[in-house]
Structure 1
Amino acid sequence: MFASMIRSRPALRANTVLLLAALFLLLAANSRFWHVVLPLAPAGFAGAGFVLAFAALLLVLVAILLLPLSFKPLFKPWLGFVLFVAAGAAYFMDHYGAVVDRFAVQSVAETNLQEGGEWLSWKMLWTLLGLFALPLAALCWVRIDWQPFRRELWSRVKLALGLALVLALAAGLGGRQVAPTLRNHRELGHLANPVAVLSATLSYAHELHHTVNVVAAPLGRDARRADGMAAGGKPVVFVLVLGESARAASFSLDGYARDTNPELSKLPIDYFGNVHSCGTDTAVSVPCMFSNLGRSDYKESKAAASENVLDILSHAGYRVTWYDNNTGSKGVAKRLDERDEYNGQDPRFCGKAGCFDELLVENLRAELGAKTDDRVVVLHTKGSHGPAYYQRYPDAFARFQPACTTNELQRCPREQIINAYDNTILYTDHIVARAIRALRDDDKVDSALLYISDHGESTGENGLYLHGAPYLIAPESQTHIPMLLWMSDGFRARRGSDAACIAARRGAELSQDNLFDSLLGLLGVRTTAYRPALDAFAGCAKATAAQPAH
């Protein structure tokens, strides 16, 4: 029987196979694209023309994508690769509401094996089987009726001309409505599978090319500390807790109905309720918030080509240490002391799923007990990183039940997803509060702590999950983030900080654009790189406040 199947393999021209592959991708790997397009179609004949115009546009784009490597011997390997990429993209689009842009590709490229393993599921396997393995088997079974190279080349030229004609006819049917639809629904450009993947990958490669081996230009080398924060007396310890995927809407400090901040609410902190992120994923927000570029001017290559605020704090005499339980500092701390705790071995906090963020607090406690110099300590938490929310907190913090206990969020009712996510916020509350108490109880240092999340998170609103939406169309849940500040009495006295002035800023419109200058201001650093207008706490300190150097 097998021999009979081999003998009966159909022989098709390369152009035919190419068009069949493009048609398969158009219909089978673009359900999210059509889920957005079809409801936009007008009624009647105009609607049919509208849909046909979009179908022709996407079919032509996919076929053009396949054309360059459609010659022997690369043809089948190239089609197989595109099928695999499209199947993976379709899974994330369909099940998490994801879109594909440069930053999504960057996040995938910069993830580690443990985090990547959290995405694996039976649902993903079945998706890959249906959208990749089965069509790949059909592709391997079919024989290509290859013609001499010149004839093959001429056939591709004729195919390209035919595609152009199809596109022109479709434009006549519904093209007038396509352009404004694309302008008003920019997410469509990130949902056209696999064209969006290729475009995003090329964009990421271009940006990466401009960041490799870049030497950071000096910044703030004139930095020195104002009188109150100058070296001497008690050591100064400033802790920056960098959250992950924590959204303000799920903080009871921000008005959320559930008590997700039972420990922080009992501490003398200032919570800032109108703060927004620079990006919607870690790969953007982290380097952006530590740079002096701001969201509107941020480019990875520009950020990599300059030192950042942590470098300036080091120039001012602070020892800077970055403890990481996430996917690294994204280059922010590469010139400083960066320590990876992601694969820690402490049995109290670590297991097969990695380490809980409480390990970072133990690092901080060790710092307090062993060091006597002035220092800045960054704790980069795993926080609320999905989709495996249930792995982010110990059982003692599984307060909200029943919680989703799988990485296949689509298998859980939304209420269970929210319960699991809220448990991660409850644990984050504990981590930050425990760090504050460790600082508060050490009377040998003058200390302060600032917590800020890198970006927010979607938990099913409008069918969206996780994060990473293009900023222009990102929901508030992915950009509105929590931020809070605590100071010891000794730190507040050294800075001359006015508690009432800082409290009055709690509702101010802030963003991660303010972090660069706010850190310099809080730590009393004088430098020409400091911009008072962007310091969230400018004017809330006495004569020791940071001022531009002259």
Structure 2
Amino acid sequence: MRANTVLLLCAAWLLAFANFSAWKLLVALDPGRLPHWLFLPCLGVLLAMTILVLLLPLSFKWAIKPWLVIVLLCAGAAAFFMDDFGAVVDRHTLRSVFETNSREAGEWLSWRMAWKIGATGALPALLVLWTRIEWRPFPRELWSRVKLILMVIALSAVAIGIGGRGVASSLRNQRELGHVINPIAIASGLVAYVDNARPQAPIVVQPLGRDATRLPTTAGAKPQVLVFIAGESARAASWGLSGYARQTTPRLAALAAVNFADVRSCGTDTAVSLPCMFSDLGRKDFSERGALARENALDVLTHAGVDVAWFDNNTGDKGVAKRVHETDLQNSSDPAWCSGRNCFDGILVDALKKTLADTHGDRVIVLHVKGSHGPAYYQRYPAEFERFTPVCRSNQLQTCTPEQIRNAYDNSILYTDAVIASVIDTLQGDPAIDGAVLYASDHGESLGESGLYLHGAPYAFAPDVQTHIPMVMWMSAGFRQRDGTDAACVTHQAALPWSHDNIFDALLGMMQVRSSAYRPQLDPLHACRATSAP
């Protein structure tokens, strides 16, 4: 075949077989006055021409086959996640892919994944490798590409002339299309990712709250210990304390923990939400580089003389705990909590107990739990927490019924409830300290609503279940008395809307830190303290 023929066939293949998710949205679009039988062909021509333009730059000898193989395999992988999980592709998605570890990646592997990527990406890639391309002298090849470009321009002009107004209006109103048209979404996401990650001036961490001090304590006062539990993929829609029909948080309900029912996340993936929680930038001003170039809440606590430690059973601290003591437990071989490549979050409670035994001063301890990390929800909890049955025992959620998915996910929430309650019990049972617990999930989760699974949708059109998260607080009587926190006021504050933007100041406020970095107006408990002067 001639090279142009190979390019056209690859573009046609990608349009037809790697864009089921896109076509599902396109067919449902309102074309205005243009009839669908005319609207969809115009749109198809424009998309095919755009894909062809993407393939053209490396369409010459020695480069064309490797280039087409890469594009086809990447498009096949993206099509799998788009079609099976309702995923979208942007720079945050690609960042999650590039920053994953072998343990997390292994949870995705399945025969379904293999055959779908094989059929959509590997099969046409093999056909490209098998095909003998008839090459002509370079000037003639160059002229043939010029003619192909002219054809692209001509066909695009015709399609725009016939249906341009309807196409432009539809695409403008359906913003998620830009994240599912394959492989255009991959290319645009990769450009954005590289632009964001490109080498810049070395990051110099700007100081924050170096003037931090703490309220004086009385002689003989017990050490204060605040445990912040950073959750994973817990959604308020499945949280018993927030009104879910199932009681998925029975132990927290029995402990009378204060539930914050209207809390919004900073992002829809861990790579954004986790550092944003500890940053003073807030969701609107947050950027990964901006957060890395600035000290965070843990640093300000350290400046105030608080001992800070981070224990991780998830995918790492995302740069948050660089300057404090950090312990990675996700690769532990402790047989009490770990089996194969998976460790239950109870390992963090054990680590907390050992740490408390050696605590002589005020501390903040962060526990980064695995929580309800999907898609293998059934692997997130021990067998005794499988109370809702039958469950989905697969990482291929589409092969399970909605009830099975929901049951497995709810069991993981039930276990998260037990982990948080165990932390509270540990603090409550230690007479040598005054303890408090603050739990907040990093983002929510989709369980198949509107064809979406997991999380990571662009924030602008992410469903509520991915951004509405649970947050829970518990304080011992001694902890509250330290600064005169009124329990009834805390309950009242918990009914108000809050977000990850408030966690930075909540942590400082709970540890009685006074600093130029502390913003009392953003601290949910500031109004509840007898010592509420800035």
Match of 1:292 in 2: 280
Change (3 A) 1:278 1:45: closer
CA contact (8 A) 2:331 2:341 kept: no
Residue-by-residue CA offset, 1:452-476 (whole Å, 9 max, x unaligned): 0000001111111111111111111
In 1, the alpha carbon distance for the partners of 2:163 and 2:74 equals 30
Match of 1:30 in 2: 19
Match of 1:192 in 2: 181
In 2, the alpha carbon distance for the partners of 1:173 and 1:232 equals 82
1:490 aligns with 2:481: no
Match of 1:183 in 2: 172
In 1, the alpha carbon distance for the partners of 2:72 and 2:379 equals 32
Find the residue that maps to 1:271 and give its secondary structure: strand
Match of 2:196 in 1: 207
Match of 2:74 in 1: 85
Find the residue that maps to 1:452 and give its secondary structure: strand
Q: Which runs of 5+ in 1 are unaligned?
A: 1-11
CA contact (8 A) 2:31 2:167 kept: no
Residue-by-residue CA offset, 1:64-122 (whole Å, 9 max, x unaligned): 11111111101101100000000000000000111111111111111110110100111
Give the superposition deviation at 1:450.
0.0
Match of 1:499 in 2: 487
Give the superposition deviation at 1:232.
6.5
Give the superposition deviation at 1:530.
1.2
Match of 1:68 in 2: 57
For 1:131-280, list aligned pairs within 5 A.
Answer: 131-209=120-198, 213-228=202-217, 233-280=221-268
Match of 2:7 in 1: 18
In 2, the alpha carbon distance for the partners of 1:387 and 1:546 equals 46
CA contact (8 A) 1:46 1:174 kept: no
TM-score by length of 2: 0.97
CA contact (8 A) 1:41 1:50 kept: no
Residue-by-residue CA offset, 1:329-376 (whole Å, 9 max, x unaligned): 110111211211111111000011310000000010011112212211
Match of 2:427 in 1: 439
Letter in structure 1 aligned against 2:373: H
Residue-by-residue CA offset, 1:3-39 (whole Å, 9 max, x unaligned): xxxxxxxxx1111111110110000000000000012
Give the superposition deviation at 1:45.
6.1
CA RMSD of aligned residues (A): 1.5
Find the residue that maps to 1:256 and give its secondary structure: coil
Give the superposition deviation at 1:546.
6.6
Letter in structure 2 aligned against 1:199: S
In 1, the alpha carbon distance for the partners of 2:200 and 2:327 equals 22
CA contact (8 A) 1:231 1:374 kept: no
Residue-by-residue CA offset, 1:364-391 (whole Å, 9 max, x unaligned): 0011112212211000000001000000
In 1, the alpha carbon distance for the partners of 2:175 and 2:21 equals 14
In 1, the alpha carbon distance for the partners of 2:362 and 2:202 equals 31
Higher mean C-alpha deviation, range 56-65 or range 115-124: 56-65
Q: 2:396 aligns with which of 372, 390, 408?
A: 408
In 2, the alpha carbon distance for the partners of 1:152 and 1:219 equals 59
CA contact (8 A) 1:453 1:483 kept: yes
Higher mean C-alpha deviation, range 279-288 or range 52-61: 52-61
Change (3 A) 1:231 1:534: farther
CA contact (8 A) 2:34 2:163 kept: no
Match of 2:499 in 1: 511
Identity of aligned residues (%): 54
Find the residue that maps to 1:132 and give its secondary structure: helix
Give the superposition deviation at 1:495.
2.0
CA contact (8 A) 1:210 1:301 kept: no
Give the superposition deviation at 1:56.
1.9
Find the residue that maps to 2:225 and give its secondary structure: strand
Find the residue that maps to 1:347 and give its secondary structure: coil
In 2, the alpha carbon distance for the partners of 1:209 and 1:237 equals 40
Give the superposition deviation at 1:231.
9.3
In 2, the alpha carbon distance for the partners of 1:212 and 1:254 equals 45
Match of 2:530 in 1: 542
CA contact (8 A) 2:31 2:170 kept: no
Letter in structure 1 aligned against 2:449: E
Q: 1:372 aligns with which of 360, 364, 369?
A: 360
Change (3 A) 1:546 1:66: farther
Letter in structure 2 aligned against 1:187: E
In 1, the alpha carbon distance for the partners of 2:213 and 2:165 equals 61
In 2, the alpha carbon distance for the partners of 1:418 and 1:478 equals 15
Match of 1:350 in 2: 338
Find the residue that maps to 1:157 and give its secondary structure: helix
In 2, the alpha carbon distance for the partners of 1:335 and 1:65 equals 43
Match of 1:334 in 2: 322
1:283 aligns with 2:271: yes
- What is the number of residues matched between the two proteins? 534
CA contact (8 A) 1:353 1:391 kept: no
Match of 1:461 in 2: 449
In 2, the alpha carbon distance for the partners of 1:536 and 1:54 equals 50
CA contact (8 A) 2:230 2:439 kept: yes
Give the superposition deviation at 1:46.
2.5
Letter in structure 1 aligned against 2:500: Q
Residue-by-residue CA offset, 1:268-300 (whole Å, 9 max, x unaligned): 311000001011110111111111111111111
The list of structure 1 runs, each at least 4 consecutive aligned residues, that deviate by more than 6 angstroms after superposition, is none
Change (3 A) 1:212 1:144: farther
Find the residue that maps to 1:144 and give its secondary structure: coil
CA contact (8 A) 2:31 2:166 kept: no
CA contact (8 A) 2:34 2:166 kept: no
Letter in structure 2 aligned against 1:271: N
Find the residue that maps to 1:23 and give its secondary structure: helix
Letter in structure 1 aligned against 2:205: A
CA contact (8 A) 1:276 1:479 kept: yes
Higher mean C-alpha deviation, range 486-495 or range 393-402: 486-495
CA contact (8 A) 1:521 1:546 kept: no
Letter in structure 2 aligned against 1:487: M
CA contact (8 A) 2:226 2:365 kept: yes
Q: Which runs of 5+ in 2 are unaligned?
A: none
Residue-by-residue CA offset, 1:138-184 (whole Å, 9 max, x unaligned): 11121111122222222222222221221111111111011221121
CA contact (8 A) 2:212 2:304 kept: yes
TM-score by length of 1: 0.95
1:59 aligns with 2:48: yes
In 2, the alpha carbon distance for the partners of 1:406 and 1:359 equals 24
Find the residue that maps to 1:407 and give its secondary structure: coil
Match of 1:3 in 2: none
Find the residue that maps to 2:176 and give its secondary structure: helix
Give the superposition deviation at 1:53.
2.4
Change (3 A) 1:212 1:511: farther
Higher mean C-alpha deviation, range 30-39 or range 135-144: 135-144
Match of 2:436 in 1: 448
In 2, the alpha carbon distance for the partners of 1:275 and 1:231 equals 38
In 2, the alpha carbon distance for the partners of 1:517 and 1:232 equals 27
1:381 aligns with 2:356: no
Give the superposition deviation at 1:420.
0.1
For 1:410-429, list aligned pairs within 5 A.
Answer: 410-429=398-417
Letter in structure 2 aligned against 1:114: R
Find the residue that maps to 1:370 and give its secondary structure: coil
In 2, the alpha carbon distance for the partners of 1:205 and 1:442 equals 49
Letter in structure 2 aligned against 1:351: S
